[in-house]
Amino acid sequence: MPELPEVETIARGLDTRVAGDTVESVWIGSRKQPLKSPAVIIAATLEGKRIVRVHRAGKHIVFDLEGESRGSQTPVSQTRVSQTKKGKRKREDRRQARQAASLQTSDVQTAQWIVHLGMTGRLVVCDPAAEIAKHTHLIAKLASGRELRFIDPRMFGKLSVHAGGFDPGGVEPLEVSEERFVALFRGRKTPIKSALLNQKLLRGVGNIYADESLFRAGIRPRRRAAAITRQHLGKLHRAVREVLREAIALGGSSISDYVDADGEEGFFQLQHRVYGREGEPCPVCGTAIRRVVLAGRSSHYCAKCQK
């Protein structure tokens, strides 16, 4: 799953490529798994909006939109949302239609489109003539003549729209002060690795960067957060920020399917010191890297360098 550096890299690339463009029309496929907001609501919210900015919030990509709601101009029946094969409307479809109809009575000036990539989600800016990949769930036609497509084979990604002020919860690791960081983890009885992955505490940090940060701070992943001294928590705070910034500078880590907005792989995986290196020598002391499982997630560490 893309973590903070990968999502930041993608958001920056999209901001460069589509900020200032306008969404003219939207097609959404019939699969409901990727949709956190109803399809008709997503389409009605996006159509006619100018993309002001693309940025990251936690592991989410946020499109800031502005402009008159297309819902106040176009009947819901004309929205380009694919229907079921038999074209039947179930009770949920009627409910969604009523929600979309409510947009027709208001001129929404600002909105946000939220994209969570899940495990295999991708956002691709391409020419309309480009072949439509299998598992394409959304196509936004832009005024520039290009298309913005959301592709997700495993369908763990999520699409939603908000009026504004989207907040995924947790604090931003690149902005949190050392005092606040220490306060988040002191006294917690859970393993420090599990606490780092708790998105309600610290948003955007995932398995890769938790392992790498703990290695640089010299802390084993299974140590209880409550047992870690103030000094070592401060060291972990600095390590988290350092690792994330280095990873962003290198375009993230290309593990599995990850590529950025230009289809390019990241390079930080070449700098991994422990993650994915079970049995290989520690780059500091030469001890074989160990792997343990915490809450169903692999954790990698050096038994000599981390205490």
Catalytic residues: 2-3, 59, 297
Tokens of 274: 């422990």
H-only helix segments in the chain:
4-18, 39-46, 91-103, 178-185, 192-197, 207-217, 230-249
Question: Do the Cβ atoms of 99 and 107 come closer than 8 Å?
Answer: no
Ranges of beta strands (E only) in 83-227 are 110-116, 122-126, 136-142, 147-151, 158-162
Separation CA 214–CA 196 (nearest Å): 10
Q: Which residues contact 113 (CB under 8 A, 6 or more apart)?
A: 42, 45, 46, 62, 63, 65, 159, 160, 161
